[in-house]
Amino acid sequence: MVSSLPSVALLLPLLCLLLPPLSRAAAIETGTPHSTVQILTEDNVDDALNDPANGLWLLKFYAPWCGHCKKLAPTLKLMAPYLAGKLAIGNIDCTDSKAKPICDKHHIKGYPTLKIYRDGNFFDYPGKRDADSMINFAEKMSMPAVKVVGSYEAALSEVVSTESSKRVGVGDGVGFIAYDGNAAKIELDAIGTDEEGVKALEKFLASSTGLQVFGQVARKLQAEASFGVLHPSATAKDLEKFGIMDGNQGPVIMKVEDNVATVVYDGPLSSPEFLDFVRENNIALITELAGNNFRAMSKKGKPLAIAVVDGEDTVTTDKYVQEAKEYAQNGPDRAKYIFCRMDGKTWSAFLDQFPVDSDNLPSILLLDSPNKEYWHNQTMSNNIGDFLESVREGKIEAQILKHGKRSGFMASVGDFIMDHLLYIIIVLVIAICLVSYLAIIAGGDNDTVSQEPSPNTDLKSDKSTKKEN
């Protein structure tokens, strides 16, 4: 009977394959820029992040079963050698017992989560997740945080609307400019991105208290905003374009956006207050909503007044967005809302949860995402001013967003399953193997018993023998 049973040893390799893999991370190499994606765990993450040769990190928190994570992996692998010396890339497997504490520390809830690390600080990656956007981001972060310009036009082209500042998300089309006519008279051409040029830039910023504060905040918020300094050689005509008049020598710090009035910072010259100013004002007059900035915009503390447009109908869209800009600058309720635009065709799946008719655009949607409320009325005028006035007067009532986050016991069960999916699959497969193994054993025992004479057979044989006798 024993010989007919499968050897337990034959099952051990299968079970080993089903168990969670041991961490593959080893002691990480330091002192040289990384040209491959690094595997990070508790054992090596501190050494990796504190390596002076790799001062900027893109960290991908993921799970092996996550489809979006798998889709992103080849992009990061191809980027790693191209960005060596500018941006190091690290993978953190949140299902690995050696890496899970890192995920817990950063309260990772979804996969993949991308975070940036620099100068001891972690923050969410603010851009889109395609290769071009991430490369633009890395290029921007590898440059000095402040660009010195000589004119208003240079500020618009080199700070406000540069390629490196695009695709970042919140703050697209916005720049922060400082001016101090009493700063060091260093030639504009001497300030650059090479070693000598960076030294000249540091000397220039250090010559003014206002510029020192500006440079500190620029370094801290470089990932999410764009910063420039107007050179003291700027003409009176250029200063007037910035709204600096009457011989004002500064220091002046301001928010600049093309075709929008300059917003001057009037707070104390200290880093915390100016940092708060940048974060509060790092929003375009009309922000283009996309997947990379929707959550951040929703957390700004005000409802989003969204102009839903048909991107293919450029004439109607441009006219409607211009109306939205005029209201955002001069409308009576402009301070209550953040004004945005959204392509109704691109975002059709998102808009399905609202009574927005994608065949009847443009339209206005007022959304308070944190409180799961919205205001919309397709039958009323799409004039933004009329719509917001009707909201204020109660003619358009708030509706409850019913497709919010799941809740209740079944939702909790579903979340638990998704959070532990890998281990649940392993347990199920092992259970199936065990049941199959026991079935084989039982089958083996039955085969052995059937080969032995049964009492019934013996009785029949005895009876047949007696009859013959």
Give yes or no for a cis peptide into 112 (omega within 30° of 0).
yes
Q: 369 burial class (0-12, 13-18, 19+ CB within 10 angstroms)?
A: middle
Work out the pLDDT band at 437, boundaries 50, 70, 90.
confident
State the amino acid at position 16 in one-letter form. Answer: C
Which pLDDT tens digit goes with each residue over 95-116? Answer: 999 999 999 999 998 899 999 9
Sheet with 146-149, edge to edge strand ranges:
146-149, 227-230, 175-179, 252-257, 260-264
Mean of the per-residue pLDDT values of the chain: 83
Which pLDDT tens digit goes with each residue over 335-382? Answer: 999 999 999 988 888 888 898 888 889 999 999 999 999 999 877 778
Residues in the chain: 469
Angle at 105 between CA 18 and CA 289, to 5 degrees: 95
CA 226 – CA 145 distance, rounded (Å): 8
> pLDDT at position 118, please?
93
Indicate yes or no: pTM above 0.85.
no
